[in-house]
């Protein structure tokens, strides 16, 4: 499954009278005078230079330069920093930088908010960005980092969990901590099968590459996601990445739960990675307007497409409900897909979304299914998105579609 995000856009109001100070500034400029600029904050500029040196040390693989940025008196921090630097050895970075967003300093102490932005060579078309909170101290005219932790909304990074091992596949990069190399190679092989399967089902441009993170445990997985582990114990994998139309949105990562994924057979593992790779491919066409039943149902449909699995095998929970006369009255809501709740309801929600996409493909055709997916995502907001796309692409209404879908459940599962 994949998270969804959107960017709010503000609107300008009507014309306003310009303040006198702006009018005066314009008059001075027109007369050939200049308005003095506010002097730059020297401490902020020096802190940025310190972080620039730190970033360059990562890209140059220069451990001495990396440690030179850390406070010489902070023994624990320097030991942790040395370990993290060694953990980065197999990470194929093409860029790494810090962008300051705020600095608060008093005397020789400062706290900085920054965005760590990095890109994996050959896999990321745009940098991944994660917030960091940095504490710094000044000694003899030079700023040193004294603490480094996730910023608001941030999470732990894979290399902070241990030595990262990298395995490259034909279409994949698998990065693992605490995993045997043969297991990482198996995941890369499954991902390499997933990419062409998704490409055959999703027309249009996408990277045709996938980055898979394999932490050592479900608890470590949760720390990468910045969320409680309880909600992920039965989930084999999730996909991160901001949805939307911008080609510069953050790169996706498929994060594997080694416990749940390892309990699956070869077929189940391939289904999981094909499902998650579908989220990677469709990210740019997915927006806040896209209901979860559509994004998850489409990903499941691509994953099972071309397999010999029957509807009864793919949707056992929903079949049980249909045969008990308890067919759902409506398509599942986003809340029905929440982790950590009723497992049966979650399964029925996924199965319902899959059969909704099956219905569209069977009744209207494969192309109309992908056209419908794109049209919903292009709407930009949830209200009216599905209704408009059903009218424009499928020539139907939500009421008619729901009735058809309920009949389709009885036909396939009754």
Of residues 284, 410, 401, 299, the one with CA closest to residue 6: 284
Q: What is the pTM of this model?
A: 0.86
| Backbone dihedral angles phi then psi of residue 173, each to the nearest 5 degrees | -130, 120
CATH number at residue 243: 3.30.2010.30
Residues 352 and 258 in one domain: no
Of residues 143, 62, 51, the one with CA closest to residue 101: 51
d(Cα 278, Cα 301) in Å, to the nearest integer?
Answer: 10
Predicted confidence at residue 1, as pLDDT, reads 56
Sequence-ordered list of residues with C-beta below 8 angstroms from that of 46, at least 6 positions apart, any chain: 142, 143
d(Cα 398, Cα 375) in Å, to the nearest integer?
Answer: 15
Residues 163 and 245 in one domain: yes
Residues 369 and 405 in one domain: yes
Residues 247 and 368 in one domain: no
Residues 61 and 97 in one domain: yes
CATH number at residue 91: 3.10.450.50
Residue-wise pLDDT for 316-344, tens only, equals 999 999 999 999 999 999 999 988 778 89
Instruction: Establish if 276 belongs to a structural domain.
Output: yes
Instruction: Establish if 387 belongs to a structural domain.
Output: yes
Predicted confidence at residue 241, as pLDDT, reads 72
Residues 227 and 292 in one domain: no
Structure tokens at 115: 């965005």
d(Cα 203, Cα 199) in Å, to the nearest integer?
Answer: 7
Instruction: Establish if 342 belongs to a structural domain.
Output: yes
Place of tokens 């997915």: 286
What is the three-class DSSP state of 177?
Answer: strand
| Residue 337 vs residues 127, 171, 342: alpha-carbon distances, Å | 29, 30, 10
Instruction: Establish if 103 belongs to a structural domain.
Output: yes
Structural domain for 334, as ranges: 286-414
Instruction: Establish if 119 belongs to a structural domain.
Output: yes
Instruction: Establish if 190 belongs to a structural domain.
Output: yes
Instruction: Establish if 258 belongs to a structural domain.
Output: yes
Structure tokens at 76: 């624990």
Task: Among 92, 127, 154, identify where a domain stops.
Answer: 154
Residues 179 and 196 in one domain: yes
Number of domains observed in the structure of the chain: 3
**Alpha-carbon radius of gyration of the chain:** 25
Segment 61-69 long-range contacts (CB within 8 Å, at least 24 positions apart): 61/89, 69/144, 69/145
Residue-wise pLDDT for 144-153, tens only, equals 999 999 999 9
Element (H, E) at 378: helix 366-378
Residues 410 and 392 in one domain: yes
Instruction: Establish if 65 belongs to a structural domain.
Output: yes
In this model, does residue 248 exceed pLDDT 80?
no
Element (H, E) at 348: helix 343-363
In this model, does residue 226 exceed pLDDT 70?
yes
Task: Among 257, 282, 307, identify where a domain stops.
Answer: 282
Residues 248 and 302 in one domain: no
What's the 3-state SS for 349-371?
HHHHHHHHHHHHHHHCCHHHHHH
Residues 203 and 277 in one domain: yes
Residue-wise pLDDT for 87-146, tens only, equals 999 999 999 999 999 999 999 999 999 999 999 999 998 899 999 999 999 999 999 999
State how far Cα 145 lies from the chain centre: 29
Task: Among 282, 298, 322, identify where a domain stops.
Answer: 282
Q: Strands, E, within 202-299: which ranges?
A: 210-214, 237-240, 253-256
* Maximum average pLDDT range among 37-46, 202-211, 240-249, 401-410: 401-410
**Where does the pLDDT of residue 361 fall: very low under 50, low under 70, confident under 90, or very high at 90 and above?**
very high
| Backbone dihedral angles phi then psi of residue 283, each to the nearest 5 degrees | -55, -45
Place of tokens 């479900």: 218
Residues 197 and 239 in one domain: yes
Residues 269 and 342 in one domain: no
């Amino acid at each position: 499954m994949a998270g969804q995000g959107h960017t709010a856009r503000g609107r300008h109001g009507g014309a306003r009278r310009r303040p006198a100070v702006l009018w005066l500034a314009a008059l001075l400029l027109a007369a050939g005078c200049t308005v003095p600029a506010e002097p730059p904050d020297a401490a902020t500029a020096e802190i940025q230079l310190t972080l620039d040196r730190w970033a360059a040390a990562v890209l140059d693989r220069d451990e001495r330069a990396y440690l030179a940025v850390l406070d010489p008196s902070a023994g624990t921090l320097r030991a942790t920093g040395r370990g993290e630097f060694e953990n980065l050895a197999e990470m194929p970075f093409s860029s790494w930088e810090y962008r300051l967003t705020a600095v608060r300093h008093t005397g020789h102490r400062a706290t900085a908010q920054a965005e760590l932005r990095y890109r994996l060579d050959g896999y990321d078309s745009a940098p991944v960005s994660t917030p960091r909170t940095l504490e710094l101290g000044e000694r003899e005219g030079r700023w040193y980092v004294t603490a480094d932790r996730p910023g608001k909304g941030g999470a732990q990074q894979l290399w902070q969990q241990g030595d990262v091992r990298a395995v490259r596949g034909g279409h994949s990069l698998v990065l693992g901590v605490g995993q045997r190399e043969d297991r990482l190679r198996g995941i890369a092989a499954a991902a390499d099968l997933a990419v062409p399967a998704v490409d055959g089902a999703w027309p249009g441009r996408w990277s045709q590459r996938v980055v898979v993170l394999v932490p050592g445990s479900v608890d470590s997985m949760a720390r990468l996601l910045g969320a409680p582990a309880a909600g992920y114990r039965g989930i084999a994998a999730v996909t991160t990445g901001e949805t939307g139309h911008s080609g510069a949105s953050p790169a996706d990562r498929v994060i594997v739960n080694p416990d749940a994924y390892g309990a699956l057979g070869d077929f189940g593992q391939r289904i999981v990675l094909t499902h998650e790779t579908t989220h990677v491919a469709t990210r740019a066409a997915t927006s806040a307007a896209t209901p979860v039943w559509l994004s998850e149902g489409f990903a499941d449909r691509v994953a099972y497409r071309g397999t010999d699995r029957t509807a009864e095998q793919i949707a056992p929970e929903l079949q049980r409900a249909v045969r008990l006369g308890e067919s759902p009255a409506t398509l599942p809501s986003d809340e029905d897909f929440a982790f950590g709740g009723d497992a049966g309801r979650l399964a029925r929600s996924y199965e319902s979304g899959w059969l909704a996409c099956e219905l569209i493909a069977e009744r209207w055709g494969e192309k109309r299914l992908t056209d419908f997916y794109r049209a919903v995502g292009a709407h930009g907001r949830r209200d009216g998105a599905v209704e408009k796309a059903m009218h424009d692409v499928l020539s139907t209404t939500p009421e008619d579609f729901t009735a058809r879908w309920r009949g389709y459940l009885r036909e396939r599962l009754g």
